[in-house]
Structures are given as C-alpha cells and as structure tokens.
Amino acid sequence: MESGDRRPYRMGARAAAMEVTRQRVMEAAAGLWSQRWYDEVTVQHIADAAGVSVQTIINHFGGKDGLADTLADLMAAQTVDFRQAPVGDVAAIVAVLFDDYEQHGDGNVLWIAQMDRVPAISRAAAHARVQHRAWLEKVFADRLPAGGPGREHALSLHYAATDVTLWKLWRRDLGLSREEAERAMGDLLTAIDPRKEA
C-alpha cells in the first residue's frame, strides 16, 4: 500500500522535473538564437548551454525545428500576456511596446532576417504577425473603423508604425534615445488616427 501511495507523488515529481528541463532547454535556445544565426546554433550548442544531452532535446522536441516551433508559440503567448495597455492611451501603448522591444527587439530582428530561408522561423514570424495584429485591434479598438477596406487600411498603418523594424531604425540605426524613439512612434500613431479624417 505504501508503494502505491508513493507512485502518484513520484509521477508528479517526474513530470515537474521534465517541465523544468523543457524550460531550461527553451531558455538556452532563446538566448543563443537572440545572438546568433539559426544555422550557426546546433542542437549540441543548445544542449551544452542547457546542461542536458542532445538526446534529451530530441526526446522533448523532436529536434531543432521542433524546439523552434515550441519556443515561438511560447514567446507569442508570453508577448500577449506582457503587452497589457489601456485602450486608446497612445503613450501607455507605446511604453508597453518599447518594454517588449527593448528586451526582445534585437533577437526579433535577427530572426526576421532569416525567415525566408528557415522554415521554422517563417512559421514563427507568421504566428507573430497574427498576434501583433490582434493586439493592435485590441489596444486601438477605440479608433479603428468597424470594418471594410477602411479598417484594413488603418490596421496596416498602425502595424507599420509599431513594427519592430521601425524600433530598430530609431534605436539602433539612428541612435535615438528610448525617450526620443517613443515620442517618434507616438507622433506617428497620433498622425494616422482615422478619426481625424471623419
């Protein structure tokens, strides 16, 4: 009876240990891929950084592409949770977006540069675009037209004004301070408010 009582505990502890291992592998992969090209990072590199064997990664994710897909899904979900901003408050929306980009923007830009030749990154980028659009529809719900071509046009403008590549242009290429770059994005968003045309 005692061994039967302990079995659920052992199974629970094993599942928890497996989840910790998965998290460690994903964190290691995210760290490596935020600094190096996808093709330059091998499963062995990830295994070494995570302190696990290559076979462990294969068992959990099926290989590098499976790991990339899982990581992309996780990061998309975390981004949605992280980007909480009040509807219509442009300054707050921009600040929340910059909190995300200052932390993950360089890695995102590196991935975007590879999406035409790495299928896993292309899938991740497509998923991220859907998530970003949904976020824009939520935080700018007060200003977007109800439907039709006008809504699509407004969404396209808002997408362009908040894209990570524009953050890169301001912060990395032009060397603007975060404050200056936030002001620039805020000015763009204010200028493209569809309600001004009504």
Please give the Cα distance from 122 to 103 (Å, whole number).
21
Burial of 28 (0-12, 13-18, 19+ CB in 10 A): buried
Cβ atoms within 10 Å, residue 48: 14
Q: Taking the model in full, what pTM does it have?
A: 0.75
- What CATH code would you report for 1-62? 1.10.10.60
pLDDT, mean of residues 58-77: 84
pLDDT, mean of residues 71-100: 83
Please give the Cα distance from 114 to 127 (Å, whole number).
15
**Single-letter amino acid code for the residue at 75:** M
Place of tokens 């659009």: 133
Convert the pLDDT of each residue in 121-131 to its tens digit. 888 888 888 88
Sorted by sequence, the CB contacts under 8 Å of residue 51 that are 6+ apart come out as 24
Convert the pLDDT of each residue in 129-155 to its tens digit. 888 999 999 999 999 999 899 999 999
